[in-house]
Structure 1
Amino acid sequence: MGRITVALIVSSWVIPISILVNTIVPEPYMDEIFHVPQVQQYCVGNFKSWDPMITTPPGLYFISLAYIASLFPGILFIQPLSSFINSCSTSVLRSTNGLLAFSLLYRCSITHSSSCYVFYVSQEELHLQCFEPQFGHFASSSSVKVNSNLKRRRSGNAIHTSNHSIHGKSLHQSTGLFSEIWSILLAAWNLKFELFVSFSPFFALLLAFAAFVVWNGSIVLGAKEAHTVSPHFAQLLYYGLVSSCFMAPMHFTTTQVTILANSFWKNKPLSFPLCFFASIITFLSIHYFSIAHPYLLADNRHYPFYLWRKIINFHWSTRYLLIPLYLYSWTSIFTLLAKVEKKVWVMVYFLASATCLIPTPLIEFRYYTIPFFFLILHCRITNDRVWLLMGFIYTSINVFTMTMFLFRPFRWDHQHGIQRFIW
């Protein structure tokens, strides 16, 4: 019954919005001017054709091709088509997005027996095993309890939701960072074979990516000169502030401000030097490693264009005046994560986010997706009011985005065609 409910909810907004978009914007727009013709080449069997402006591999194109092939008999009944290529229209190709959105939601959010959930839990078990020497005996797969904000139901006798505890003994008792690291290193050595087997897919993926970069000479297939790796340290600061804004009911409240202020004054001997050091690092990151990508400056269809012009680069001093907000955002993130995770986990999360974001020279909110998902999954959100407020924020953003995209078009003097606002 739950699966049917989710299917109806997803369909209730995916289908009407898809129809509305295809009615108002029937022609390929933005990057679709590259992707749609490429798939249409595949539809006629021309698999040797490739647009040099496309940056990503063609995996999604093959999925679209298989999807359209499965629909082709049904499309014949709806309207006469002279060939298979005629079914590869822009509207049909766009429907691949809705199909994937629904299938991913169905597999990863509805059933706990799905591969992504099992994989997530298997990594959690190894995470717990690495803490075994310091925090007590390891709970087997029949008794491991995994906390997740996105998974509320029980799954048989194997996995139950809780506050991330093992046999009543908290994993999050106060310990030093170096002690945690040493404990993990010892446990990892004892579990080296299990860890190697578990992480072998990651190693294989890393080696494959390294081989691709060596063979290709870049991290992308096309438009290589516009997608070079750059030390964009300011990107990490932007992410901290943006993710805090998207979780505003948790970060920007009087309760959270009071908690952070009390913690600061309680540990004044350590807080002042850390704050000073963080301010210096933030200042240097902004001054020397704040990149204005040509795409950011030239394309006024994207919201980051206006954030850069109207806020970040409004005045030479504005980017420095935002330093307190950057520091507050990351401090609040660290505080919330530290309530649930060990110090070493918080450190690894920060380093992983930095590795993901710093090499990207273009300010794009889509780059923040994976770090943000991990952040919201591992912040213990038990307050229904917070969930409702966050849901209201996301719904409002989506309504605003679709309204601007569909009903506020504009034109460029130097280029023919209608332009639209988009993320």
Structure 2
Amino acid sequence: MGRMAVAAIVSLWIVPVSLTVNRIVPDPYMDEIFHIPQVQRYCRGDFKTWDPMITTPPGLVLVYDLLISLRPSLGEKKATFYAVLIALYPLHWFFTFLYYTDVASLTAVLAMYLASLKKQFLISAMFGAIATLFRQTNVVWVAFVAASAAISYVEDLCEKDHVNLMYKKLKIERKDVIFNKNSSAVPTLRKRRMGASTNSSQLTNSKVIRFLPLYDSGLINEIVELALKLWRLKWKVLVTFFPYLLVLLVFGALIVLNGGIVLGAKEAHVVSPHFPQFMYFGLAAAAALAPAHFTLGQASTLWQAVRRNKIGNFINLLASLVLCMIFVHFFSIAHPYLLADNRHYTFYIWRKLIQAHRSMKYLLVPVYLYSWFSVTTALGKAQKKVWVLLFCLANALVLIPTPLIEFRYYTIPFFFLILNSKIEENIKWIVIGILYASVNIITMLMFLYRPFQWDHQPGIQRFIW
């Protein structure tokens, strides 16, 4: 089992589906008509020509190793099983067979994340730099990975300092007792040793804290404690994580020189306050893990969490509800690409669901809130609250400025979510795998065997995510 097993199993569908797609759709399609000629120019040595319609630079998911690194107790068999199922995630699976930047972008980001978990920060920052060459918004994930790695780094250092201090204290006490002729000191020393041993054990096992539920500790306390640790170790942190900082500084300089984050088609990719995009991701992510989030058991768990502080949670929920209503009322954006291109599934979701009735976008708000509550609660069982907060902030920075509703933008945050969600029941994973496989079969059949034509433009059109 392991990496080779994952590669062998995934190849069982990658090879035949790739051959079928290349046979039925031999010509470049959708964004491929821009990407392929650009790469062909590079292959001919022409590095000066740039297609103005390309908005991003040119450019087997590492899920198995990430699962092993994040959850060492998982075991090879389960990690292999989970990695194969995650590889079926429909958005990633579909674009594996097209010449888009998504697969390479995801690979670079996950390689960055894996290297950071292995404490190889220079290599991680290098992968982060590569990731920004595939998609500019990946700079946010560079900052996120750097921040999460810095949190683990300072916690480990503080933990070691406490343990070393405890051992030094024990040595001093031991020397004092040796030279002390009073025999009554012996039981005192034994008590101190027992207490110190207990404290040392607690400190050594303090990583258990990060597996506590989201609502078991205060976010403010975590932030204050972390800020103090960071300030105490600021120079070590700065030196250790300087490679990430260098990537961010270079990227910032490039943005200034370019006059914006987008390379081409700038008029169609203007930064806009698209707050509902953040909510859409919550629902899409929870729906992609429906057996873990949309169940009576999960709903009951969330309800019990709310009941623990009825007044406070009721106020928070009411404020969130009002705020989200304001967002969908004033900041729902219908991008021209979304309205004009009926090849994308988002076109039909917008028309048939979100715009089915003028009240529908408001009726969906409670579903958005439930989805995000469920997602953050699940993450809180595997990570500290500060990590969850950073994840939410990273999503906001990536998604809110983006006016176009595009499921491909959700792929990277979804992988961070699924890798850090502790879904233990095999039956849930099996159901998720069946759902993914079913969606993949349907979308690929639609793409290959349900072509259609536009009246205003020649050529064959196909349905796509």
Counterpart of 2:17 in structure 1 is: 17
**Distance in 1 (alpha carbons) for counterparts of 2:408 and 2:159:** 37
Structure 2 unaligned residues grouped into runs of 5+: 60-95, 120-145, 165-201
Matches within 5 A, 1:145-184: 167-169=204-206, 170-172=208-210, 174-184=216-226
Q: CA deviation at 1:16?
A: 1.0
State whether structure 2 residue 237 is matched by structure 1 residue 195: yes
Structure 1 unaligned residues grouped into runs of 5+: 61-93, 141-164
SS in 2 for 1:171: helix
State whether structure 2 residue 460 is matched by structure 1 residue 418: yes
Q: Which amino acid aligns with 1:26?
A: P
State whether structure 2 residue 438 is matched by structure 1 residue 404: no
Question: Which residue of the other structure, out of 338, 347, 353, is the alignment partner of 2:380?
Answer: 338
State whether structure 2 residue 118 is matched by structure 1 residue 121: yes
Q: TM-score, normalized by length of structure 2?
A: 0.71
Specify which structure has the higher proportion of helix. Answer: 2
Number of equivalences: 360
SS in 2 for 1:260: helix
Higher relative contact order (CA 8 A, sep 6+): 2
Q: Which amino acid aligns with 1:8?
A: A
1:257-287 Cα distance to aligned partner (Å, 9 max, x none): 1111222233211121111100111001101
Q: CA deviation at 1:382?
A: 1.7
**Distance in 2 (alpha carbons) for counterparts of 1:312 and 1:31:** 26
Matches within 5 A, 1:99-114: none
**Distance in 1 (alpha carbons) for counterparts of 2:416 and 2:9:** 25
> How big is the alpha-carbon RMSD for the aligned residues of Structure 1 and Structure 2?
3.0
State whether structure 2 residue 291 is matched by structure 1 residue 249: yes
**Distance in 2 (alpha carbons) for counterparts of 1:136 and 1:46:** 54
Counterpart of 1:29 in structure 2 is: 29
Contact 1:132 1:138 in 2 (8 A): no
185-194 or 7-16, which moves further after superposition? 7-16
380-389 or 317-326, which moves further after superposition? 380-389
**Distance in 2 (alpha carbons) for counterparts of 1:139 and 1:41:** 59
* Distance verdict in 2 for CA 1:304–1:237, change over 3 Å: same
220-229 or 200-209, which moves further after superposition? 200-209
1:114-173 Cα distance to aligned partner (Å, 9 max, x none): 875332232666423444699886799xxxxxxxxxxxxxxxxxxxxxxxx974442146
Contact 2:223 2:386 in 1 (8 A): yes
**Distance in 1 (alpha carbons) for counterparts of 2:414 and 2:104:** 20
Contact 2:274 2:401 in 1 (8 A): yes
Q: TM-score, normalized by length of structure 1?
A: 0.77
1:301-339 Cα distance to aligned partner (Å, 9 max, x none): 011111100001111111001011011111111221222
Matches within 5 A, 1:181-330: 181-330=223-372
Contact 1:135 1:171 in 2 (8 A): no
1:93-113 Cα distance to aligned partner (Å, 9 max, x none): x98969x969987x999xxxx
Taking only the aligned residue pairs, the percentage that are identical comes to: 50
Q: CA deviation at 1:202?
A: 2.6
Counterpart of 2:78 in structure 1 is: none
Contact 2:275 2:327 in 1 (8 A): yes
Q: Which amino acid aligns with 1:118?
A: A
Contact 2:230 2:237 in 1 (8 A): yes
